[in-house]
Amino acid sequence: MRVKSIVIDGFKSYAHRKELADLSPHFNAITGLNGSGKSNIFDAICFVMGITNLKRVRAEDPRELIFRAGTTGVHAARVTIEFINDDPATAPPGYSCEDYPIITVGRQIKIGGKQQFFFNNAVSMQSKVKRFFESTSLNVDNPHFMVLQGTVHKLIDMRSQVLLSLIEEAVGTKAFDHRRRVAETLIRNKEKKMLEIDQNMETQIGPMLEAMRADQEEYNRFLKASENLNTKRRFQVAFEFCERSRLLQEKQESMDRRKEASAHAKEQLEAIPQQEDELTRQLMRLQESILSPSDAMVTLHEKEGELKKISSRYQSQIDSCTKMLKQLEGQLKGLRQEKEKQARAQEEFLNRRKQHETLLQSIAQERSRVEKLRVALQLVQSGVRAGTSGLSLAEELSQVENQIVRLDSRIQRSKESIAQLTSQLQNAQQRHSQQSGQLLHLKNELGRAQAKLDATSKLYAPLALKERRLVTLEDAISKAKIEFQEAYDSFQREAATSRSFELEFDRRGCPKDVEDKILGRVGELIYPKKEAHKLALMVGAQTQLLRVVVEDDTVAEYVIKHDLRQRTSFLALNQLQKNPGIDPARLEAARRITASMNGFVCLASELVECVDPDRMAGLAESTFGNFLVCSSLSLAQELAYNTSVKFKAVSLDGEVAEPNGLITGGSINHLRDVFTELKTYRERKAPLQAMRRQLCEMEQEYYAVRSELERQKNVLTDHRNAEEAVEVVRQRLCLVQDSSKGSIDEVEAQLTSERKALLSAENERCELVERKRQIEAEAAIDPDHSRKELQSQMGAAERTLAKLCKQEEENASAFERLEADIEQQAMDLATKTREVEEELAQQQRDRVVLQTQFKQTEGELDMVQKQCKQCEAQHMQVEKEIEETQAAITGLTERRHSLENTVKNTEIELRELNKTIEELHRWVREQERRHDWLAQERHLFGDPSGPFYFNDAARTQTTLQELREAEAQTAVMSRRMNKKATILYEERKKEYDELAKQRVALGEDKEAIQQCIRGIEVRKWQALDRMVGVVSSIFGKLFSTCLPGAAAELVEERDEHQHLSGLAVRVLFNGKVKASLSELSGGQRSLLALCLILAILRVRPAPIYILDEVDAALDPSHTQNIGRMLQLYFPTSQFLLVSLKDGMFNNANVLYHVRNTQGYSEITRVENRTNNVIDGTDRADNQSHMAEIL
């Protein structure tokens, strides 16, 4: 693992975001003028690693870590280090290279001291960040990976013992000394116990046994005096011996069974800690894993809400589009009706137009006729035979014949076209008949779809209002959230400038009703009735005013467990204990005393009022019911010390007198006006709470409406599907109808046109034939008669023309106005119809697009809901596993306690059994010792023919009764005897033996501990000798590299046991030993100390080493040698050093130049590409050379 980049933003002299990007995996150098901010980079590294002692980063106050203490607009400082985790050998435990190729750690501090840690761009706990760095040997509290200039100077003057201690600290053998000290303390305790036992045996129990031995001898003489009872007593002794032997055997069997049970319980007990550790680790893993599903579930719920909003928005747009389509269809229908009306008006206009055109044609014909008659009359007058056409009869006859020929040709073409169109019409009618089945099927399908739509519309009608309400609520909630966030930000900005009473915890992880169950601070909910009592109430209640009141204790537990950032006391109303307060008699006595002193007194709880008296009465009594408020200090003292009252009292000026003699008073200038501050805070927060309540109400209504719509989701889906089905079938039907009917109508129109053209041509031909006949007839008429006829026809034609011209003049102006109106109406209607049709087509396309997007959104919503269900199931499964694991841990704990109790009870029973068995053994041995005949006659026990037959109970009881009677006769003899002598003697003797056993056990424990100490010492010195040799070897190689021709080594100092007692440094120049380090120059001594530090660092490697101006006392050649040495002997280590000398940073792979510009630091990166080869030796050779050293 190595550092890739360091980002500094707002930290100390770095006002803006600066990045040490692309750090070399080996050698990085930082240079710049004094005061430019070089060392601030190392302070930033220590800051992000979690340092808490600000003096270590040259600061006294957290604000000093922010650029100019936040006075220039920079209100936060943030540092981020990015690590590349590409080496499995150096990967942190739990962070594999595959799962965590990049690891990012950051820390941010804001004005006011609020700070956050970030791990992989997520907010993290400081303990997690520190554990991460400690696992990679980057413990900022013991930064052996940082070598500062002062460290080098201190190392030069270290004594040999301190130098050895430094290596022991690096190697880790200090732990051996700690274990040894613990063992020696334990030995001293054992020896002290043994001394106590010896003193007890010598001064108490021993003399007591000597005194009791005389009583025992006197008792023995009494036994000798009772030899006449020997036979019966032998029977009794044998009987008791037999019973005790049987009891001894039973106790031994019971003891063996209990030992087996105890051993089995101990085995189970030894296995329980491992099981508990496994379950605890499993529980921690489950608790950590539950955060990820929780975050994912929150994200999915947010995404679900967004998708539902989008889906609802699409649905609303589709409904709006459908409504618009219906409106447009209605408009189009109205336009079509208007078009029909206009068509009728157009038809009437066309009729009038035809009449007008007919009139104009008539005028033109009459004019032409008049002109022709005039020409014809002129021709006739000139002697040429002419007709009414204005041509000569011969010319007119020729034209008529030519026209007849042309008409014959046109008639023939029309007949052929009519035949072809008739064939096409037949084909189109055949196709239309073939499509009639499809049209009928589509009409039936349209009828079914319309019936289904009508059925679903009845169910959908009441839901339409709810859908519109849902859309309205969505918009209102969105606006309310924006307004709430703006108000909350404003509230936070105002709170930053004054004392904040806001609880800071993770609200997302808590249930939604937790915020509503936090009622507020005590001082917010309960306040003085009068301003004059405020000071006394505030002093009497003290810190209780700032306690947070919650409805029940589970709310407090939720808040505390979800990252509560300040120490807070909670008062749960359901757990509130009644305050005993002051009894009526004492209160009455207080009032009498007050009256006698002409003062004022009242119970504090009577001077306050509550926001909610019904719920807060108990809280007011608990907070203000334990002291009195009076008018003066003298009265307060009287109330506190008078035996009839003896109750805490507070004066109106804030002096306190308590029954235990404590009096508090003095200046009140330093006291904060908690009531006023809380009142101001509550007034500022009241609009925010009102907005939150309004938002919650709208959200509740929104979720209720949405739930209702979701329950009716099938109805909504059926209605939308029915609408879509009707529209699709209608479009298909229109398409088929238009395609078939249009083709037939077009052919019929063409056929009708051709027939009309044929009929017109035939009529025109008949007229031409008739005209030809007339011309032939006119050619035979007399010219005079023709002239007269022409004159007569011309006069009639002129009169007709004048009449027609007069009629046309009368109707021309009205016709022109009507024609203009008709054309303008037709254009307006066509334009409006085209616009409506285009809008209708656009809306249909929009609806198709919206339906597609709606279906896609619904699909995504279904997928997100499935993922939500999976996350919830996973969350529930993890919670179930957590509960099962906790239950298993609880079960193991209970089982451990049960087993511990079993083992403890069994050991007690075993001790008792052992005691009993020992007593029985002692008794049996004592009996065998006292009665040697028991061993000789033991074979007679139980023999029916012998003297010791105990199976006959009657005989046995008779014998024992006879013994008792005989002993009663000797009772007189025993009156002078001390009957307890033997018992006391046995008890003391037993106590003496027990102490002797304890002493032996303590001696064995002492020997075992001493043996452990010897083993620890052996391992310690072996490890230390081995590591000193490694450090010395590396030290010599490094020094000789930095100072050619010189050598250095560690000289061991040993005590009389040949153990290391100190280390000294020996320096050789050209093979000659220097007598003292004082012979070296200052630069050589610094170089020597730096090489020793780097050699020690090789023992405890870290991902990165930091060197701060370690070459300050070195000349350029030494500095250059250090750079070469780092390149040669630390090829796989990453260095970040500050240097002002070219000889050092010229060897760096990457150089960062720091300069101070206009009061803040700037960083420039320079990559040095000339240091990849060192004296002809490549990186692989360097690594092999280093392996030979180690």
Listing DSSP states for 705-722 in one string gives HHHHHHHTHHHHHHHHHH
What pLDDT band is residue 430 in, cutting at 50, 70 and 90? confident
Structure tokens at 741: 């009917």
Phi, psi of 23 (to 5 degrees): -65, 140
Whole-number Cα distances in Å, 215 to 201, 730, 738, 774, 978 = 20, 129, 140, 193, 7
> Is pLDDT of 971 > 60?
yes
In terms of C-beta distances under 8 Å and separation of at least 24 residues, what long-range contacts does 832-836 make, across chains too?
832/335, 833/332, 833/335, 833/336, 833/339, 836/328, 836/331, 836/332, 836/335
- Scanning 201-290, the segments in alpha helix (DSSP H) are 206-224, 230-289
Overall average pLDDT of the 127-133 stretch:
86
Q: What is the pLDDT of residue 1176?
A: 37
Among candidate residues 274, 261, 273, the one with its CA nearest the CA of residue 904: 261
Q: How far from each other are the two terminal CA atoms of the chain, in whole angstroms?
A: 21
3-state secondary structure 931-947: CCHHHHCHHHCCCCCCC
- Over 70: is that where the pLDDT of 792 sits? yes
Q: Is 1105 helix (H, G, I), strand (E, B) or coil?
A: strand
Q: Which amino acid is at 365?
A: Q
- Residue with the two structure tokens 């936070």: 492
Check residue 446 and give its pLDDT. Answer: 79
pLDDT at 1186: 37
| Strand ranges across the sheet with 570-572 | 518-521, 548-550, 570-572
DSSP codes, 323-361: HHHHHHHHHHHHHHHHHHHHHHHHHHHHHHHHHHHHHHH
Per-residue model confidence (pLDDT) at position 974: 64
Work out the angle between the directed axes of helices 1082-1099 and 981-1042 (0-180°, nearest 10): 130
Q: Comparing 736 with 274, which gets the higher pLDDT?
A: 274
pLDDT at 1175: 39
Tell me what pLDDT residue 296 has: 65
DSSP state of 66: B
> Rounded distance, CA 946 to CA 235, Å?
11
Output the pLDDT for position 558.
80
The answer to whether 141 touches 106, Cβ cutoff 8 Å, is no
Provide the pLDDT for residue 95.
87
What one-character DSSP code corresponds to residue 653? T
Instruction: Indicate if the pLDDT at residue 1139 is higher than 50.
Output: yes
Is pLDDT above 50 for 1181?
A: no
DSSP state of 563: T
A 10 A CB-CB count for 1107 gives: 27
**Average pLDDT in the 431-451 region?**
74
- The three-class DSSP label of residue 385 is coil
CA-nearest of 958, 940, 957 to 949 is 940
User: Is the per-residue pLDDT at 1095 higher than 60?
Assistant: yes
Residue 740 reports pLDDT greater than 60: no
Q: pLDDT at residue 1072 above 90?
A: no
**What does the pLDDT look like over 361-388, one tens digit per residue?**
777 777 777 777 676 666 666 655 555 5
User: Do 1063 and 163 contact (CB within 8 A), yes or no?
Assistant: yes
Q: Which pTM value belongs to this model?
A: 0.35
Rounded mean pLDDT, 398-403: 76
Instruction: List Cβ neighbours of 685 (8 Å cut-off, separation of 6 or more).
Output: 491
Q: Is the pLDDT of residue 1184 over 50?
A: no
At 973, is the pLDDT very low, low, confident or very high (cuts 50, 70, 90)?
Answer: low
- Strands (DSSP E) contained in 542-655 are 548-550, 570-572, 601-603, 608-610, 628-630, 649-651
Q: In angstroms, rounded to a whole number, what is the distance separating the alpha carbons of residues 928 and 507?
A: 82
Go through the chain and tell me how many residues it has.
1190
Residue 743: band (very low, low, confident or very high) from pLDDT cuts 50, 70, 90: low
Residues β-bridged to residue 570: 548
Residues facing 601 on adjacent strands: 630
d(CA 523, CA 1074): 77
Running DSSP on this structure, what letter comes out for residue 61?
Answer: S
Q: Which of 170-174, 626-630, 940-944, 1069-1073 is the least confident region? A: 170-174
pLDDT at 793: 72
Considering 72-81, 573-582, 776-785, 1171-1180, the range whose residues carry the highest mean pLDDT is: 72-81
In terms of DSSP bridges, do strands 1150-1157 and 1134-1138 run parallel, antiparallel, or are they unpaired?
unpaired
User: Domains along the chain?
Assistant: 2-145+1102-1189 (3.40.50.300), 147-207+988-1100 (3.40.50), 208-289+887-987 (1.10.287), 501-671 (3.30.70.1620)
Note the pLDDT of residue 1180: 44
According to the model, what pLDDT value does residue 256 have?
85
Scored b (16 or more CB within 10 A) or e, 319-357 reads bebbebbeebeebbeebeeebeebeeebeebeebeeebe
Give the pLDDT band of residue 911 (cuts 50, 70, 90).
Answer: confident
pLDDT in tens, 710-721: 888 888 788 878
Distance, CA of 578 to CA of 619 (rounded, Å):
9
Residue 630 has a pLDDT of 93
**More confident: 914 or 494:** 914
DSSP state letter for 34: T
* Cα within 13 Å of Cα(267), Cβ side: 6
Query: What sign does the CA torsion over 823, 824, 827, 828 have?
Result: negative
- Residue 429 CA to residue 432 CA, distance in Å, equals 5
729 in Cβ contact with 446 (< 8 Å): yes
* Cα separation values, 4 from 7, 18, 23, 143, 675, Å: 10, 14, 5, 20, 53
| H-run or E-run covering 1166 | strand 1160-1167
Q: What is the mean pLDDT of residues 110-117?
A: 89
Note the Cα 15 to chain centre separation in Å. Answer: 31
**Angle (nearest 5°) at CA 295 between 289 and 301:** 135
* pLDDT grade for 669, boundaries at 50, 70 and 90: confident
The pLDDT confidence band at residue 807, using thresholds 50, 70 and 90, is: confident
Judge whether 8 and 45 are in contact, CB under 8 Å: no
CA dihedral 703, 708, 713, 716 (to 10 degrees): -110
Q: What is the pLDDT of residue 1172?
A: 45
3-state secondary structure of 988: helix
Looking at residue 1076, the DSSP 8-state letter turns out to be -
Average pLDDT, the chain: 77
Residue type, 1158: Q
Q: Which amino acid is at 493?
A: R
User: Residue 1102 above 80 pLDDT?
Assistant: no
Q: Does residue 1149 contact residue 1168 with C-beta atoms inside 8 Å?
A: yes
Dihedral angle computed from the Cα positions of residues 790, 791, 793 and 799, in that order, rounded to the nearest 10 degrees:
150
